[in-house]
Amino acid sequence: MNVGVNSSRLNLRLDGWRSRLLLIALVSCFAGLVGRAAWLQGFHAGFLQQKGEERYSRVIEMPASRGIIRDRNGQPLAISTPAESIWASREDVELSPAQSKSLAGLLHMDPRELAQRLNGGGRGNFVYLRRQVTPEVAQQIMDLKISGLFQQHGFHRAYPKGEETAHLVGFTDADDHGQEGVELAYQKDLGGSAGARRVIKDRAGHIIEDVESIRVPRPGQDIALSVDGRIQHLAYRELRNAVMVHRAKAGAVVILDTQTGEVLALANYPDYDPNNREHLSGAQLRNRAITDTFEPGSTLKPFTIATALEAGKVTPNTVIPTGGGQMTIGTSTIRDTHPFASLTVAQVIQHSSNVGAARIALTLPSETLWNMFTDVGFGQTPKLGFPGEAGGRVRPFRSWKPIEQATMSYGNGISVSLIQLARAYTIFANGGQLRPLSLTRVSTPPSGRQVISSQTARQVTDMLELVVKPEGTAPAAQVKGYRVAGKTGTAHKVVGGRYANRYVASFVGFAPASAPRVLIAIMIDEPAGSSYYGGLVAAPVFSALMGNVLQMLAVPPDDPNSSLFDAPAAGAGSAEDT
């Protein structure tokens, strides 16, 4: 069958308006594409350049070296060394079984743990495999030629003195940020500021071109502490030995320069190694000298006596009736370990009479006694700038009952930290002035605030010297060649809201008594056995430390012809509050 070319079935035509509409649409799309290309390439080239750079250009951080922490003699207590972090881009990692085994060994990691980290179901593409490895190990890892594996430059913090300065210096985290101690307190100064630079990387992550420096890293500032590393070593050693010998729960010691307020040593036990923190407990981390509080016991009596002397209520020779070592207030009875019918005010300190201190305190308005406690810093943070500083507790005087005022006079019902107690005692060593304490070295001693008169300070110091005499509570605190002034404390601990047969033994003292230079405060928490009195547990630590420190600082003896008295035997009675 012959079909003509003009057959109606093949003769397709578009209506005129449709052909024109299609042509206009095509021309418009083409014009839009031309305009978009002109805009991107002529007027918005930066956009294309940015998108291209995002494929290859990277801004990498340049970590800053952390400042060095040194003791007052320039010895390093915390330093930074170069370290590398190994990280992986999970989706780009390709490694053989042999590479996996080698990598796990270099990372000190079980192969199964490595596989879990690299698989990392749903946790993103980026993962750290190990932080702060040595540059040598990092190079060995990179020599394995594993794709998707990268290294990041940084620093590792090291602590040359280890346990000795752990609670004081503290430590940093994996990102080199301070977490405890001086490292945290002075983070802003020590940390510096990281820099940045722009580089070109290939797909494997290798830098093929260093484009520009965006920000130069600023190293952290060095910090010079007031601590003397030699004295710190002695303090740590003697404290650790005392805690172990007496099977105590814990202990702390603070050593101050009375003339400048500088902290020469601050040690705690139990301790920890800041260079190896894999298995730490809260008890090990606690800086008990600053963050823990306790009832000071008889170490508070000198402040009660000083208040009465300032108020003109007594003199050192005033006779106080002590009722055979017993005094009843309401339904409560206060007792002394050794009974006396009467004692002079000086003997109240020497024999540590609770009854004598209570009778003196009750002659004073409660506000007057409260003012003394707060004036020397009790109930307030020491403002050392140290993290976790405890303020302790001094209840408002308006709520005091007579029995509470009486027991507070010998250190019950009030709580202090060891650093607070040490600072408060400096008023007796500094002619009545209270100076601020410092953890950093000071060039000029700060001015103090007069809390008591120089005469009262001298009178209390004379009384404190009696404490280390044979009739006192702490003959074991004597130091050959030097006059020593100090006070013992033995306080029951409060457990579950009630006093328990657990004790805190303490001693605070200074020397030479004629011209005080060094003050030492010691606290031993829960010594076991029958020897739990401050005069038997803490005083010997004071004696060993003070003798060595005074010689180390070349402080001339003020009693070169003195001879040591015999200290009481362990278990012998000691006139302490319990």
DSSP-assigned beta bridge partners for residue 245: none
Sign of CA dihedral 432, 307, 461, 417: negative
Residues 6+ apart with CB under 8 A from 44: none
Contact in structure between 252 and 219 (CB atoms under 8 Å)? no
Report the alpha-carbon distance of residue 362 to residue 145 in Å, rounded. 81
Q: Do residues 131 and 94 lie in contact, with contact meaning Cβ atoms separated by under 8 Å?
A: no
Q: Which residues contact 251 (CB under 8 A, 6 or more apart)?
A: 239, 242, 243, 268, 269, 288, 522, 523, 524, 525
Distance CA 326, CA 280 (A): 47
Q: Which residues are catalytic?
A: 298
CA distances from 234 to 262, 421, 534 (A): 17, 21, 20
| Torsion sign over Cα 194, 198, 200, 203 | positive
Helix (H, G, I), strand (E, B) or coil at 152: strand
Per DSSP, 564 falls in state P
Q: Which residues, in sequence order, are CB contacts of 163 under 8 Å at separation 6+?
A: 236, 271, 272, 273, 274
Sign of the dihedral through C-alpha 523, 513, 358, 345? positive
Q: How far apart are CA 440 and CA 226, in angstroms?
A: 4
Tell me the pairing of strands 223-224 and 69-70.
Answer: parallel
| Residue 396, preceding peptide bond in cis (omega within 30° of 0) | no
- CB-CB contact of 182 with 58 (8 Å): no
100 is written with which tokens?
């996996």
Separation CA 330–CA 169 (nearest Å)? 49
The pairing of strands 498-511 and 149-158 is: unpaired
The span from the CA of 105 to the CA of 98, in Å, is 11
> Three-state SS string across 349-383, please?
HHCCCHHHHHHHHCCCCHHHHHHHHHHCCCCCCCC
Alpha carbons within 13 angstroms on the beta-carbon side of residue 293 total 21
Smallest Cα–Cα separation from 58: which of 152, 143, 142, 177?
A: 152
CB atoms inside a 10 Å sphere around CB 18: 10
Residue 302 burial (C-beta neighbours within 10 Å; 0-12, 13-18, 19+)? buried
